[in-house]
C-alpha cells in the first residue's frame, strides 16, 4: 500500500493515520507537541449536524460522517482497548416562540428525506423531554437523534492506542516518507498561506469549561447559543466562544464566565456544579469555512487536511475515508467545496 507520513496529531491527522493503517499502509505520525496538543485537546465534543434545509455538499458530507461515526469509534475503541467517549445521545434545543416552532416543524419534514430515515428531527413538548430539558419560552423543543457526543481527549487517546496496536507511533520529529499529509491546524494554515502568497484561513479562539456533574446518559443541549455536552466520565462540558480578535490564545476571561452563566440560566441542574477546568485554544478556520482536503498546490507528494473549525470531530470519519481513498487508491471523492482551491 506504500508509505504515508502524517504531520500533525490532532483529530484529522490521527483519524487519517488510523484509516490508512487499517488498510495496510506503512504510516508514521509526526508532531513535536504530541497528540491532541492543539484545539483537538479541548473539552466540548459536540458532534451536532447542520439544520436539515438548504442542502449542499458540506451538509451531505457531514451527515455521512455522523452516520459513520458509531462504527468508526467502536472499531477504534475495540482495537485500542479503551473508550473514545463517543455516544449518539441526541440533542435538545429550546424554541423561543411560535415562529421558531413552525420553522422547526418544517425542518422536521425536510429531515425525513434528507436524513434518509437514519435519524429524526422533531418538535416535542418540554413536558415530554425529561428532567434534563432546558427552559423553553414556547414550551417546545427540537429533539434530534443524529447529534452525538465525543470526549475530545479520550478520542485522541483511543486513536493513539489503536494506532500503537497497529505498530504506528507518534514521534516528535522525523523525515517525510512516501506521501505526506499536513494536518497541522493553525500553523499549517499559516504555512500554506505564506507558501502561496494568499491567506487561506485563520485561527478562531474558543473558550470552554468542564463541570463535575454526572449526566452521562442524558442528551446534549444547545441553548442560548451554548453547547452543553454530558460526557461519560461524569463531567459536563460547556462552550464555546468564537473570538477572531484576541491577544492570548490560551487564557480564559469574562467571556467564558458569560457562557457559563448563560448555560446555568438555561439549565438549572448546572447551578452549583463544580468547575473543574477552564480551557482556551485556537481552532483552524478556512476561508471557505469547510475543511480543506487534497494536494498542496505546487508541492508534489504533499497534501492538506485542515480547517476542521468546530466540526472536526464530527467530520473526522468521512475525512479519514476520503483522504485514504485519495492517498492509497488514487480515488478522488473530495467535494469541490473542500478542495484547497475553494479557499484561494
**Which helix (H) or strand (E) covers residue 303, if one does?**
strand 302-306
Quick one: 172 exposed, middle or buried, by C-beta within 10 A (0-12, 13-18, 19+)? exposed
Phi-psi label, residue 267: left if phi above 0, alpha if psi -120 to 50, beta otherwise: beta
Residues 227-247 have pLDDT tens digits of 999 999 999 999 999 999 999
How far apart CA 256 and CA 280 sit, in angstroms, is 9
> What whole-number distance in Å separates Cα of residue 63 and Cα of residue 82?
26
Question: In the structure, what pLDDT confidence band is assigned to residue 1 with cuts at 50, 70 and 90?
Answer: low
**Between the CA atoms of 257, 35, 78 and 49, what dihedral angle is there, to the nearest 10 degrees?**
50
pLDDT at 110 over 90: yes
* Measured distance CA(230)–CA(234) in Å, rounded: 7
Q: How confident is the model at residue 102 (pLDDT cuts 50, 70, 90)?
A: very high
For residues 9-19, average pLDDT: 98
**18-51 confidence digits (pLDDT tens):** 999 999 999 999 999 999 999 999 999 999 999 9
Look at residues 296, 273, 126 and name the one whose alpha carbon lies nearest to residue 200. 296
Mean per-residue pLDDT of the chain: 96
Q: What percent of the chain has pLDDT over 70?
A: 100
Which domains does the chain carry?
3-85+147-200+287-343 (3.50.50.60), 91-145 (no CATH), 201-286 (3.30.9.10)
Closest CA to 324 of 71, 7, 22: 22
Q: Of 323, 283, 308, nearest to 58 (Cα)?
A: 308
Residue pair 339/295 in contact (Cβ under 8 Å)? The answer is no
Q: Is the pLDDT of residue 100 over 80?
A: yes
Q: Mean per-residue pLDDT for 97-101? A: 98
More confident residue, 142 or 2: 142
Axis crossing angle, helix 11-22 with helix 312-329, rounded to the nearest 10: 40
Q: What is the mean pLDDT of residues 283-290?
A: 92
In percent, the amount of the chain with pLDDT more than 90 equals 96
3-state SS class at 280: strand
Amino acid at each position: 500500500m506504500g508509505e504515508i507520513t502524517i504531520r500533525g496529531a490532532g483529530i484529522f491527522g490521527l483519524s487519517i493515520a488510523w484509516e490508512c493503517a487499517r488498510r495496510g499502509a506503512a504510516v508514521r505520525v509526526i508532531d513535536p507537541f504530541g497528540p491532541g496538543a492543539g484545539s483537538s485537546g479541548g473539552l466540548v465534543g459536540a458532534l451536532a449536524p447542520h439544520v436539515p434545509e438548504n442542502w449542499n455538499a458540506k451538509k451531505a458530507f457531514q451527515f455521512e460522517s455522523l452516520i459513520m461515526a458509531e462504527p468508526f469509534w467502536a472499531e477504534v475503541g475495540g482495537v485500542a482497548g479503551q473508550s473514545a467517549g463517543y455516544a449518539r445521545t441526541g440533542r435538545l434545543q429550546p424554541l423561543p416562540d411560535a415562529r421558531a416552532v413552525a420553522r422547526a416543524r418544517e425542518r422536521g419534514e425536510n429531515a425525513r428525506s434528507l436524513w434518509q430515515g437514519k435519524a429524526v428531527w422533531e418538535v416535542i413538548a418540554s413536558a415530554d423531554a425529561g428532567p434534563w430539558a432546558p427552559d423553553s419560552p414556547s414550551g417546545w423543543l427540537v429533539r434530534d437523534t443524529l447529534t452525538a457526543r465525543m470526549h475530545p481527549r479520550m478520542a485522541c487517546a483511543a486513536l493513539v492506542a489503536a494506532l500503537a496496536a497497529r505498530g504506528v507511533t507518534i514521534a516528535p520529529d522525523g523525515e517525510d516518507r512516501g506521501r505526506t499529509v499536513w494536518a497541522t491546524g493553525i500553523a499549517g494554515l499559516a504555512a500554506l498561506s505564506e507558501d502561496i502568497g494568499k491567506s487561506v484561513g485563520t485561527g478562531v479562539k474558543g473558550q470552554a469549561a468542564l463541570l463535575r456533574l454526572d449526566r452521562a446518559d442524558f442528551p446534549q443541549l444547545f441553548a442560548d447559543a451554548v453547547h452543553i455536552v454530558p460526557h461519560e466520565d461524569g463531567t459536563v462540558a460547556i462552550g464555546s466562544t468564537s473570538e477572531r480578535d484576541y491577544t492570548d490564545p490560551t487564557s480564559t476571561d469574562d467571556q467564558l464566565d458569560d457562557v457559563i452563566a448563560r448555560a446555568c440560566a438555561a439549565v438549572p441542574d448546572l447551578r452549583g456544579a463544580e468547575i473543574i477546568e477552564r480551557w482556551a485554544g485556537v481552532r483552524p478556520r478556512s476561508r471557505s469555512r469547510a475543511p480543506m482536503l487534497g494536494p498542496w498546490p505546487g508541492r508534489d507528494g504533499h497534501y492538506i487536511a485542515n480547517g476542521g473549525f468546530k466540526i472536526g470531530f464530527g467530520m473526522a470519519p468521512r475525512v479519514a475515508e476520503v483522504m485514504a481513498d485519495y492517498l492509497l487508491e488514487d480515488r478522488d471523492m473530495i467535494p469541490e467545496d473542500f478542495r484547497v482551491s475553494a479557499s484561494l
